[in-house]
Amino acid sequence: MPRRRHRTGWLRMGSLAAFTVVFVGFAIAAPGFLVVGNIANVVDQSAILGVLAFGMTVVIIGGGGDVITGGIDLSLAGNLGLSAAVFAVLSQSGSGDVLAVVAALASGVAVGFVNAFAVVRLRILPLLATLAVMNICAGVELVLTHNMVVQARSSLLSRLAGDGPFGLPVLAYLLLAIAFVLVLAVQCSPTGLRLYAVGGHREAARAAGLAVERHVGGSYLVSGLCGGIGGVFSAALLNGSTPGSGEMLLSIVVAALLGSVFSRRLVPTIAGTLLAVLFIGFLINGFQLINVSSYWVSGVEGVLILFVVGTTSLVRREMS
């Protein structure tokens, strides 16, 4: 038992050390890297990916870690695009900010509801159900936007895209605030504990009298809401809705899965996902600052996943 703790502790240290090495490396190599403005900028640009990865994390916690039969929400990127389109179209047709925000969030939750219904009631594999829903989202987005950029300008959007207290971006504050709320709800509440129990061993959770269906379904609703919030953020950052949000899907999956190596027991956590998202953000930012072509970014992300997951599975094997 002490050996086990020692081993995973080493890995956790290892991933944090990797984060630190990359951070310090860029701080030395790129003069503009370790500046408050730049760091806030990275957090700002990680806001969309972060919120979506939180949604994915909640689903993975509730569904279990097996990517095929466990929880996964492939519709998140499509949901983001759809919610942003809903916001932009309403905003452009003259609706107020409140209505547009409510409609965008409602469309996100509606997508989450369809996922929850498909997974819990119809018992479709989450991988497949959310895959189909992703296609539907992408299609409805196309219907709304005709595959074109829909410009949206409003006071709320410019407020969101602007600077808040201390001259730091508002989205950065919002990302940290959402992370804080979710950490409280998932990591520090009875509901969150039950969600982990349901994901960890569904039959045991059911035998212990937990409302398994409600927790699993709820995780998809939270994920849908995250998609809606991400949509509003994206509308603010891009001044409306632009096609191509679907490309984010794999980055979301990577962030949520990478996050588990930042946790003590190698399970997905909100804080771990936040660290993973920031890690990816700093990597991209640092490469830009030292003028490495952006073509390398996805390759480095790929190597990173393989490295982290490879060492994790190595440690897991020694643990068992």
Partner 1 sequence: MTNSWLRAGAPPKPRDLLRFGPVIGFVGLFVFFSLATSTFLSAANLRSVLVNHFSILGIASLGMTLVIAAGGIDLSIGTAMDMASLGFIEVLAVGGSTMAALATGVAAALAVGVVNAVLVARLRITPFLATLGTLFIGQSVEQLATGGGQPIYLVAGHPLAIFNAIGTGIVADVPVALWIAAGAIAGFFVLLGWTRLGRRVVVLGAGPGVARYTGLPVRRDTALVFIAAAGICGVAGIVSSATIRSYVPLAGNAYLLDAIGATFIGTTLGRDGRPRIAGTLLGVLLLSIVKNGLLLIGWTFEWQQVGTGILIFLVLAVSFGHRREA
Cβ neighbours of residue 34 under 8 Å, at least 6 residues apart?
A: 26, 27
Cβ 286 vs Cβ 278: under 8 Å: no
Cβ 87 vs Cβ 101: under 8 Å: yes
Which residue type is seen at 88?
A: A
Q: Cα–Cα distance between 160 and 239 in angstroms, integer?
A: 10
Helix, strand and coil in the chain, % to nearest 5: 80, 0, 20
Tally of CB atoms within 10 A around 166: 8
Interacting residues with partner 1 (CB under 8 A): 67-68, 118, 122-125, 127-129, 131-140, 142-143, 146-147, 250, 253-254, 257, 293, 295-303, 305-306, 309-310, 313-314, 317
Q: How far is the CB of 15 from partner 1 (least distance, A)?
A: 15
Q: What is the DSSP code (8-state) at residue 162?
A: S
Q: How far is the CB of 152 from partner 1 (least distance, A)?
A: 20
Q: Cα–Cα distance between 242 and 204 in angstroms, integer?
A: 45
Q: How far is the CB of 296 from partner 1 (least distance, A)?
A: 6
Q: How far is the CB of 208 from partner 1 (least distance, A)?
A: 22
Q: How far is the CB of 305 from partner 1 (least distance, A)?
A: 5
